[in-house]
Chains A and B, each alone.
Chain A
Amino acid sequence: MLFRYRGSEGMLAWAFHRISGVAIWAFILLHVLDIWLANVNYKLYNDLLSLYGSPGGRVLETALGAAVLYHALNGVRIIVMDFWPAMTRYHKQLWYANWVLFTVVGLVFAIQIMAPAFGLQAPFSFGG
C-alpha cells in the first residue's frame, strides 16, 4: 500500500526523510569503518580516502551532502510544526521553502565538492 497510495507533498516529505535517514545511517557505518582503518592499517586508510577524492567518490559525497541537507531542513520543518501546530496548515509551503533553501545551499556544497573532478579550483580553500 505504501507504494500504491497517492499521497501528496506531506507523504513525499516523509518518504524522503526516511530514505535520507537510512542513507545517512549507512554512511555513518562506512565512516566508522574507515576511521577504524586509520588505526589498524593506515595504508588502506589512505587508499580509501583517495577513493573518496575520485570523481565517483565525489558524486557519492555530493549525494551524502544532499541527504544530510534534506534531512536537516525537513527536520526543522517538523520541529516548527511540533511547536506551533497551526503551522501544519502551511506544511506544503514549508516544504517548498525547504527545496528553495536546499537548492541554494546544496549548489554551493555541490560545486565545492565536484569542482576538482572537473579540474577546476574549488571556491573555498581550507588550507589544503
Chain B
Amino acid sequence: MQIELRILRFDPERDQKPHEESYKVEASPMDRVLDLLHKVKYEQDGTLTFRRSCAHGVCGSDAMLINGRNRLACKIRVDQLKGKRITVAPLPGLPVTKDLVVDMDSFFAKFRSVQPYLQPGDPDPERERRQAAEDRAKFDDTTKCILCAACTTSCPSFWAQPSYVGPAAIVNAHRFIFDSRDDAAEARLEILADSDGVWRCRTIFNCTDACPRGIHITQAILEVSSKIVEHHA
C-alpha cells in the first residue's frame, strides 16, 4: 500500500522556520516508521536528517513525534498507526538542529544533575555487593530507561517550564534512590525537592504513555515525591 509521509523539516542554513514536506512511499503493514524514513532518505531525498542507531528499540536514538505522539520510529509499525497518512516531527520542546534531530544537551545535563550512578557508602567489598530479590524489585521498573527523551518531551510541564528536570531524570534518580546498595539518596532527594524538581509533575501521564519501555514513570515520580516528604518529616 501507499503511505503519505508528512515530515516536518528544517534546515537552519536555508529555512526561516520549519515546514512540512510530503513523500509518498510504498509500505507493507509490518514496516516500521523508521523503514519509511529510510526509504525517503535512500530513494527520494538524501538530505533528510534523523538519528537512529540500533533500529531495534534499545538505543533510544530515534524518538520522534509520530502522529501527534512521542514514539520510537523503530518500534511503531504502519499497521499500528491506522491510516494512510503518517505525520513525523522532531521531539517537542527541544531546539531543532536539523529536520528530526534535536539538541539533547540540556536533556543530558538534567540527567547528570541527579547523580545517576551508584554511590556506595561502605568500602569496596572483596566480592559483589549482594542484594535481596525484594530490594532489587523496588527499582526494577526504572532500570529499563534508554534515555530516548520521549517522556520528558511529551510533558506539558516541561513545555511550559524548560528548566523542569523532567520525567527521565527523575526515573534515573529513582533507580538509585531505591537501591539498597546506594548511600546518596539524601543528596538526590535534595536535588529533586527543588522548585524545578518533582513538584512540577501534574500527573498528566503523557510520559507514561510515551515510554517505549513501558516504565510506570508517573508512579516512579510520585514514589520519589513521597520519599522527599518522608525525608523532610
Contacts and interface: CB of A to CB of B under 8 A. Distances in A.
B172 interface: no
Given A1-B159, A2-B156, A81 B222 contact: yes
B159 A89 contact: no
A72 B93 CA distance: 31
Interface in B195-233: 202-206, 208-209, 216, 218-220, 222-223, 225-226
A6 B67 contact: yes
B142 interface: no
A88 B156 contact: no
B151 to A, nearest CB: 13
Q: How large is the interface on A (under 10, 10 to 19, 20 to 34, 35 or more residues)?
A: 10 to 19
A9 B205 contact: yes
B152 interface: no
A86 B219 contact: yes
Given A85-B222, A88-B219, A88-B222, A8 B205 contact: yes
B154 interface: yes
Contact of B219 (A1, A6, A85): A85
Interface string A73-91: 0000010011001101101
A14 B204 contact: yes
Given A82-B222, A88-B218, A7 B159 contact: no
A101 B38 CA distance: 49
B19 to A, nearest CB: 15
Of the candidates B204, B205, B225, the one having the most CB atoms from chain A within 10 angstroms of its own CB is B205
Contact count band on B: 20 to 34
A11 B206 CA distance: 7
A10 B69 contact: no
Interface string B111-133: 00000000000000000000000
B203 A91 contact: yes
Contact of B159 (A2, A78, A81): A2
A14 B159 contact: no
Contacts of A9: 205
A5 B69 contact: yes
A10 B206 CA distance: 7
B68 interface: yes
28 contacts: A1-B93, A1-B159, A2-B159, A6-B67, A6-B68, A7-B154, A7-B204, A7-B206, A8-B209, A9-B205, A10-B203, A10-B208, A10-B209, A10-B218, A11-B156, A11-B204, A14-B156, A78-B203, A81-B218, A81-B222, A82-B203, A82-B225, A82-B226, A85-B218, A85-B223, A88-B205, A88-B216, A88-B219
Interface of A: 1-2, 4-11, 14, 78, 81-82, 85-86, 88-89, 91
